[in-house]
Structure 1
């Protein structure tokens, strides 16, 4: 009894001394957290059974006492289950003075063997119990098979980060049921064809069949995430890379950020609209999308069938006094033909007149027929082809090319001003604040090696009275062979030949009315060494097909074009065409833009005009045919490969010259003065970019 009383007093004193002492280390805090503390009002007085006797002391046994049957509320569950030891009669403890503080101190036996702390990750998880098995399986799949679903490192890292941040809870289901977000994403993927994409490229897993097991639900979750990222990437950047189509295409990359896609789509009120937003925002793209729906849905009514019959031909009237009617054929099929070709004027006229013949000629060009303007059997058959599959293919590849262009075509500081040139239509437009400011006809490059490249660059300045520095390709391929035949040809053309000490050759033409660049050159430095300029050959602008240049773009009214651009870049200067023409002379004048104006060279063989009519143009460079072949014959993600092409040569031509060739006296040194790129675009232009590939085609993956 003396020993027990002493132990009780010491324990109580220790509890009073330590009850308010703060716990400073992790072990002590864990011990406190593991002991349940009852409300102070319900704490019973301690009994002798609360304390462990010192078994090393000698205690005289006394008579046995019947154990108290009253349950001890202060016992732990472990203590309640343990058998009750026999208590000595004299081991009776007095009530503690402050039971609450006494109980705040754990018994010595518990302190020596604390309960382990709970797992902090699971304790912080908010995953519903029904989703926890799916989350556990997602954790395993991402860790062991992530590369099977996401072969791009950036996407794999983004997915792992996103799932980790949500404790691997499934994205698209809750308790095995599809969420509203998932339904929106699935609806967009299944309607991918509306944006010119292929729904088969974005498979949707069967969640109804997958709901049976956590494994199947987890796999379906990752597959839908994969399809969503594939859609966003291809909607923004394209199903194929532009380098696969031709070496003369160079657009800035604008890859999609998978982290942004995951965050944007999963938090959007309308997940379908959020995913659709990765398609091009341009007005002309959206107009093409609407026309694609019309062609596929037959919203223009029942197809018009042209009956077979004799060939119809329009022959212009001969002689000043010949009546026009005598030169025209009449046929009851002509009204249907007018409707088929979209000619609304004189819709019921049965005469095969000049307008009908011109429309037939244009259709023949679009159908790869000889453009004779005669309605023959082959033309009738092409007109009656079901639902114009060729037109749908043409729209699809044009929508694809819109994905390559920058999302913001213009300069925000200039009211989103930009220049856009459509090669197959041979037109150039200046746009500002979403509206056309000015337009003109252009001459573009010949098909083949001289095709005008597709690019997006910025126009930095205009040169009045430019010097024409002949590109190396023209020197090699045309002028050096011409000199072998006629050593005086350059003199007669007004060209000047200079030879450097290292033997390289430079040919130029001084400013003047006969200069090949005309009076004005519009400079937007690029790796293809092309630009826009005036021309002395004005008669070419009257042609319907105007692909005649070596790659540069000739502008019909350069003085007006210059004044429009200068008034956008420097509105306070009030440039007029007359002011521009007053600068014509023999000395170069550079007019620099404080803010460069973007220039976008495009290839639109299908577009919607200002009247809302779908227009088609001849595939002058064969770009449509190449892209259609790639889309129909390509396999999966191979379409997104990047092909490295050889860069243009910037080296000055070298080679022997005939003895009779006139070489300028003030020959230049190859180690001094501006290089060819600087001569071409002006002294302030950057040096040409370093080559990114060899002549052999190499394939990379975006």
Structure 2
């Protein structure tokens, strides 16, 4: 009716028609009933709404009666019932004047709605009222909880309402748990009639085995359900505690016990938090709850291999540790002269047989400190980050007597932790899950596709300290042949401007071009060419740290075992091969070869864009399992292991999951006075122009805006909850 009545005048005409109808009915009813006593207004209204085969003799209705009549018409069936035959055309429409208003009336006028059922028990409106009220109040609804569990459910409802934050300190997890319990009418999740469910047993088993996953079982305490079985209060408390412990495990298994920002400001990985709603549904609905919970650990093969090696190191009875006694330093000196007797170049000591046995050197009964023993000592020193001299001195003896296994276990644990920071899907599905992974301490880069290694090469990485290569996951969008080197602001500030004060001609002699913009800022670049610092190819994956992979004219550095020499970028040994491998993955029909890449070398930049960007993952793996299945350790060149081990052993708990905001890299161009003898590029029309982020990576069309800093803007450092 509301759709048809467009004006107030139309609405008034309808009301008048209804009133006329009631007057007709009332007059006829009065003649029939004579002196019969009048009924109440509510009774009259309800009777008037019920179609009758014969006209009824009732008193004339009032305005209040008409309002009550529309309220009573709440049943769709009553609107469909044929009206009594009347001479007035408007009469049949009376029951369906305003159905929407009729439905809303009980909510807006509860007192009148509550009165109607008592006045007319047989009316259609009264039949619907109890069901409506029950649906609105879930407490009064029939519970689906078994009688034996109802006391626990009642207590769970009270605990979640009054003390939910005590069990779950994260708002999103608390909301998810409350929603999950509500859908179950607060039936306990982990017990039935006081007994543990199969899901509970699986979850408890996984939590107790958390150490095998590189986690700390003490972080996921398991309540004593046997002791709690005698009390609904205790069972409800235990149910919530196990739910909270399960969510803590899933969150830390997936994202880590510590946030990567706690370790250093030069780490940036994408967040991948758990969805607590999904965890609750997944684990409680799984056939194997333990396996479902375990699935939140990293899926990568290298993580699983480290987990297996961790079990080997922890398992089995260890042989009695061989202790090397203190004594004079032992040194092997090669014999001088072709005819010098070998014995003259060696030292003998009663400790050497023990040393041979401990280091696995042949001839365990031989007490001579010969070349083989010295080589074994040198290798050991290198593995524990001592200077590899080959001399058995006091520091080496102390390191030999320190339980090696404990340090190896700690190293494996922090490497497993770093795997949790990486994306769950390292590659791009559209191109066979292809990705690049670079291990900084191992100085190697690998291209992976379909789960297998496609290609590998040596790399040079950043120097320890301010030039450390950052850890990140980004996507390589294109490569540039014959790149221009746009010198980053940090190098201009810290190296080139001070050098210009000493020698104003240094940049000119290095083949660098200096430009000053109209706003006074300075830009330094090196044109493409064989002597360019980036070599012939640059591999671009724009990131806030302004680093990339590139060729280099300093090829001799790849022959060194330790190759941390750059300002943070990664130099690739065979860039032409690397480029062809990536291009053949991105565009397999183009048939790129290293020769085809080299044919592009010249003096003009050439951008080769990938139809599908290739993920690049920069990692820090000081412990990994090689292709032969052997556990390998690498030197902690940036001190990441030491920092993480100390933090985990300090037992700061969930505080380690907080996000720390670090000062962000500066993209501003250097300004300031230059020595008078400095040569500024002639014909300079360089202005404030493109953002430096865009100039650095080239390849127009990419958003030059640097990523937002971690945490709140305007604060150089702070702590925030993940």
Residue of structure 2 equivalent to 1:287: 305
Distance in 2, matches of 1:157 and 1:324, equals 77
**Paired residue for 2:273, among 255, 258, 262?**
255
CA distance in 2, matches of 1:355, 1:436: 35
Distance 2:436 2:521 in 1: 36
Kept after mapping to 2: 8 A contact 1:498/1:666: no
The corresponding residue for 2:584 is: 567
User: C-alpha separation between the residues in 2 aligned to 1:326 and 1:570?
Assistant: 65
Change (3 A) 1:610 1:677: same
Which residue matches 1:63? none
The aligned counterpart of 1:675 is 691
Q: In structure 2, how many angstroms separate the alpha carbons of the residues matched to 1:526 and 1:225?
A: 39
Structure 2 distance, partners of 1:324, 1:561, is 49
Question: Distance between the aligned counterparts of 2:530 and 2:334, measured in 1?
Answer: 39
Matched with 1:698 is 718
Match of 2:416 among 399, 416, 432: 399
**Does structure 1 residue 412 correspond to structure 2 residue 429?**
yes
Aligned to 2:504: 487
Check the 8 A contact 2:306/2:412 in 1, yes or no.
Answer: yes
1:424–1:620 Cα contact (<8 Å) kept = yes
Counterpart CA distance in 1 for 2:452 and 2:366 is 37
For the pair 1:523 / 2:558, whether they are aligned, the reply is: no
Distance in 1 (alpha carbons) for counterparts of 2:152 and 2:582: 60
Alpha-carbon distance, 1:331 to partner:
7.7
* 1:536 counterpart = 2:556: no
In the TM superposition, what are the counterparts of 1:127-166 in structure 2 within 5 Å? 127-166=145-184
The correspondence for 2:286, drawn from 254, 268, 275, is 268
- TM-score, normalised to structure 1's length? 0.80
Partner in structure 1 of residue 598 of structure 2: 581
Matched residues in 2 for 1:28 and 1:422: separation? 71
Report whether the alignment pairs 1:665 with 2:682: yes
Structure 2 residue 461 is the aligned partner of structure 1 residue 444:
yes
1:102 equivalent in structure 2: none
1:483, 1:661 within 8 Å by CA — same for their partners in 2?
yes
**Aligned-partner SS, 1:184:** helix
CA pair 346-653 structure 1, distance change in 2 beyond 3 A: farther
| TM superposition shift of 1:313 | 3.6
Following superposition, the deviation at residue 203 of structure 1 comes to 0.9
Quote how far apart the aligned CAs of 1:332 are.
8.6
Aligned partner of 2:65 in structure 1 is none
- Deviation readout 1:315-346 (Å, 9 max, x if unpaired): 45656888989866688977875675577x99
- Please tell me whether residue 218 in structure 1 is matched to residue 236 in structure 2: yes
**Residue aligned with 2:148, SS:** coil
Structure 1 pair 517–170 and aligned structure 2 pair: CA distance change class (3 A): same
- For 2:68, the equivalent position in structure 1 comes to none
In structure 2, runs of 5+ residues without a counterpart are 1-46, 52-71, 78-118
Query: Which shifted more, 372-381 or 596-605?
Result: 372-381
- Alignment partner of 1:244 is 2:244: no
Label 1:158 to 1:423 Cα distance change in 2 as closer, same or farther (>3 A): same
Once residues 25 and 175 of structure 1 are traced to their aligned partners in structure 2, the CA distance between those partners, rounded to angstroms, is: 47
Secondary structure class of the residue paired with 2:445: strand
Question: In structure 1, what is the Cα distance between the partners aligned to 2:695 and 2:233?
Answer: 66
Separation in 2 of the partners of 1:386 and 1:520?
47
Q: Which moved more, 1:680-689 or 1:275-284?
A: 680-689
What count of residue pairs does the alignment treat as equivalent?
605
Over 3 Å counting, the alpha-carbon distance change for 1:328 and 1:256 in structure 2 is: farther
1:387 to partner: Cα distance: 5.1
Aligned partner of 2:642 in structure 1 is: 625
Q: Return the offset for 1:110.
A: 8.5
Give the aligned CA root-mean-square deviation in angstroms. Answer: 3.2
Alpha-carbon deviation of 1:607?
Answer: 1.1
- CA distance 1:589–1:432, shift in 2 (3 Å): same
Please report how far the alpha carbon of residue 475 of structure 1 lies from its aligned counterpart in structure 2 after TM superposition.
0.3
Distance in 2, Cα, partners of 1:410 & 1:589? 26
The 1-side partners of 2:665 and 2:515 are apart by 22
- Map 1:292-307 to 2 at 5 A: 292-298=310-316, 303=321
Distance 1:519 1:330 in 2: 56
1:611 Cα shift?
Answer: 1.6
Aligned to 1:168: 186
Kindly provide the CA deviation profile for residues 648-690 of structure 1, in whole angstroms up to 9, marking residues without a partner as x. 1111111100111100013234343x32111111123321224
Q: Could you tell me the TM-score, scaled by structure 2's length?
A: 0.78
Equivalent-residue separation in structure 2 for 1:519 and 1:392 (angstroms): 43
CA contact (8 A) 2:272 2:423 kept: yes
Q: Which whole-Å deviations, capped at 9, do the CAs of 1:20-45 have from their partners, x for residues lacking one?
A: xxxx989999xxxxxxxxxxxxxxxx
Deviations 1:201-232 (A, max 9, x none): 11111111111211111111001000000000
- 2:147 match: secondary structure: coil
Query: Structure 1 residues 490 and 329, CA, compared in 2 at 3 Å: closer, same or farther?
Result: same
Superposed CA deviations along residues 123-170 of structure 1, whole A, max 9, x for unmatched, are 543211000010111111111111111111110111011001111100
> For residues 342 and 528 of structure 1, do their structure 2 counterparts lie closer, same or farther at Cα, with a shift above 3 Å needed?
farther
Report the Cα distance in structure 2 between the residues aligned to 1:357 and 1:595, rounded to whole angstroms.
Answer: 52
**1:280–1:109 Cα change, 3 Å:** closer
Q: Indicate how the Cα distance of structure 1 residues 627 and 473 shifts in structure 2: closer, same or farther if over 3 A, else same.
A: same
Distance 1:157 1:533 in 2: 48
Partner of residue 495, structure 2:
478
The reply to whether residue 511 of structure 1 matches residue 528 of structure 2 is: yes
Residues 27, 169 of structure 1: alpha-carbon distance in 2 compared, 3 angstrom cutoff: farther
Q: Write the distance in 1 (CA, Å) between the matches of 2:431 and 2:339.
A: 56
> Residue 415 of structure 2 contacts residue 623 of structure 2 at CA under 8 Å; is this kept in 1?
yes
Match of 2:611 among 594, 616, 623: 594
In 2 relative to 1, CA 513–338 (structure 1 residues): closer, same or farther, beyond 3 Å?
farther
Structure-2 change in CA distance of 1:109 and 1:484 (3 Å): closer
Change (3 A) 1:109 1:257: closer
1:234 aligns with 2:247: no
Shift of residue 360, structure 1, vs aligned partner: 2.9
The reply on whether 1:369 has 2:378 as its aligned counterpart is no
Looking at structure 2, the residues matched to 666 and 319 of structure 1 have their Cα atoms a distance apart, in angstroms, of 67
| Deviation by residue 1:251-279 (Cα, 9 ceiling, x = unmatched) | 00000000010000001111111111111
SS at match of 1:560: helix
1:17-166 counterparts in 2 under 5 A?
Answer: 119=134, 121=138, 123-166=141-184
Unaligned runs of 5+ in 1: 1-13, 19-23, 30-107
How many angstroms does 1:621 deviate by? Answer: 0.8
Partner of 1:91: none
Q: Against the structure 1 CA distance between its residues 678 and 316, is the aligned structure 2 distance closer, same or farther, given a 3 Å change threshold?
A: farther
Q: Distance in 2 between matches of 1:557 and 1:198?
A: 43
**Separation (CA, whole Å) in 1 of partners of 2:499 and 2:459:** 28
How far did 1:192 drift?
Answer: 0.7
Aligned to 2:562: 545
Task: Tell me, yes or no, if the aligned pair for 2:474 and 2:541 is still in contact at 8 Å.
Answer: yes
